[in-house]
Structure 1
Amino acid sequence: MKSDTHKVLHPIAGRPMLEHLLSSAAELAPARQVVVAGHGRDQLEKALGARATIAVQDPQHGTAHAVQMAQDALADFDGDVLVLYGDVPFVTAETMRSMIARLHADDAPKVVVLGFAPDDALAYGRVIADGDAIVKMVEFKDATEVERTTKLCNSGLLAARSGDLFALLARVGNDNAQGEYYLPDIVNIALADGDHAAVVVTTDPDEVAGINSRAELADAERRWQDRRRAQAMADGATLIAPETVWFSWDTQIGRDVLIEPNVVFGPGVTVADYVTIHAFSHLEGATVGSKAQLGPYARLRPGADVRAKAKIGNFVEIKKAVIGEGAKVNHLSYVGDAEVGAGANLGAGTITCNYDGYFKYKTVIGERAFIGSNSALIAPVRIGKDAIVAAGSAVSRDVGDGELRLVRAEQMVKPGWADRFHDAMKKKKAEKQG
């Protein structure tokens, strides 16, 4: 990836690819999770906390050697082990369950391998099978020409009982083209012992697609977004130009929501039913109530809580603020660290001045208050119910219910001043040019 960030921490839909995988695994309620890393332990520990044990593979001698690094963390564990890959993030819980179920079938295979059949098998390792019974596992570099014609490929993912897994790993050698210890060799060892191994085949090759470059990361993002857009429309939302809408991994969209082109959802957004989101809007960490309208060019930042039937319009930014039911902030405004009451109207260019360079302060605007255009509300300040702030005011003191507050400098008029100024400047310019 040519990055200081660990590969498996690069995000897809705003979530590290490793977290996508762990989220699916969590549906199986695993007793413990071990992440084997060749480097970047500090980054992984910071990202995962106590949810997983980090085992470091150093030096790196192949996939079988990598799995062996988890043995100490699983020393007292006597159960099923799923071997997954952090850069193969889209394996579903359903697929994981099918692997475990096959492991416990009547024929009790020692190892269950997840296979797939891509349109182009490329240089993937091959699974030679008779039905779902594995006859042989072979890496592409070591495969014969006949074996390379096999379409069934090895994803690298497998399931085995803990005792069987580590006993087989201890017998893996490195007599191969790369001089490495290959994980698939445990299948061949089990077969040589007269034991049974089975393959479960995913019907979606994209499920096991690995990510090893920025280009593959972008392709994974595209595939994830395509699926999420289709799901949003299947759930009752209208996307006018689906390919231009970008969801986050946790975006929640209600029914009869209309989303116009070029809308981006960052993490932590919930949108209720009947909402309209106009073009070029960006939402992150926000909640939007039923029948609200946003945009075009609206920006909701974390903590934005837009209540039912409220309107957030052109080039308006909302941050850590409640916009009450039916309230309107329609044009060119910034509302941060604030509470705006139901039915209030904030005119174009209204700003809540919430930061003094050291601390943030709150603005409270009462129900049905009217804030005139180009007003600056200097927090901490309260504007009462039904109050009016005249256009162009800079309000630094509380305004009571029903009051009018007008804060402007006295207008001065100097007749003839502009004419004299222009004459003097034209004369000066002519003298310089002469």
Structure 2
Amino acid sequence: MADTAFSKLSRRGFLLSAAGAAALPLMPQLSLAATAGDNRFVTIILRGAMDGLALVQPQNDPALKSLRPDLWLSAEDGLLDLDASFGLHPGAAELMPLWQARELCFVHAVSTPYRGGRNHFEGQDVLETGSIEGRALRTGWLNRALSLVPRSSSRKALDITAAMELVLTGPSDADVFAPSSDFAMAPDELQFLQRLYGEDAGFETALAGAVTDGAASGSLYDDAQRRSGIVETARLAGSMLKADYRVASFSINGWDTHADQKTQFPKVAGDLAAALLSLKESMGEAWANTVVLAATEFGRSVRQNEQGGTEHGMASVAVLAGGTLSRPAGPGTATAAEEGAGGLGGRVLGRWPGLADAALADGRDLAATGDLRDIAAALLHRQFDITPANLTTKVFPGLSFEGAAAYL
């Protein structure tokens, strides 16, 4: 086919195909599984390295303003008080009702065990497999957890995606469905393709045509179209979780804010807020028995760069949501900190390391004081009563349950 006959849809399909070959999803992916019981568990993978310092900003750390003169926010900029120490980015302001209802909490300064070259692919493999071995482990921690949860033989697992996410890959059965391919891309996704294939003359020509067509039609960068796709993914997940399904996983892309973070970050923060609120709305009463874990492959550098963005870093923030957070996990399981507080919700958890030079990891990153696997293990125990022994040998091999106990 001549290039002049290369349609807008075909150009965009080419971009999506190229990205698929590079293993970076450019659209939300939704995976679901059925289990017995009424409790639900949802994971949302925030692909691209979400800046936890931007989403949940330390309000009293004196180093932040000098490290991020253009990205630091004050109350006048719309920063919302979470507690005396931390504030929520105004892009996620729609989450405040969940916070006030104790159906939302944050765990700061956490990361996976990944300590490699700050590579998205490697980091996401470690996040989804739950092991430093990354993709070599071949199965996702959520799939391994499914084998330990009572399941109804009449229910099937469901994956709505172009290719199953690694977190749910494994021996547990899943049905696969592909979403629409006209989902609008985030700026960081196109920048990724430019970096990956920038020296390929053929791709560069096709990319330029796709960008021109997309800009003219508004289909490539349309924020409303992108938000609509994320909301519809969350609604679909919620409607299925309301019925037979009990476990779901999907992704929200767009967090790789190397440049112009001040403009980009509010959009993706709003995407996350819209997804959580749509999930709650579509689940109805089932939300009361649900917990959501939203996590990213790694955080971003503490210092802003010359492009008004941030580079790949280490620790970030884990976002927890759901009706189960408003109450203790069960009789005798509430920690002293939770007693009288109604559970984990409405709090910023974790041990804050500070932003002084001596406290930074590698002299540039927010240091990790917590392990994301501890959070996931605690939530799986909380929701499905998977035993500590199984969690530390079969789901997260080598993990100690001592860290997980802090989130029960």
**TM category, shorter:** under 0.3
Instruction: Report 1 or 2 for greater relative contact order, CA contacts < 8 Å, sequence distance ≥ 6.
Output: 2
Higher helix share: 2
Q: TM-score, normalised by structure 2?
A: 0.23
Query: Under a length normalisation based on structure 1, what TM-score does the superposition of the two structures give?
Result: 0.22
Considering only CA atoms, is the larger Rg found in Structure 1 or Structure 2? 1
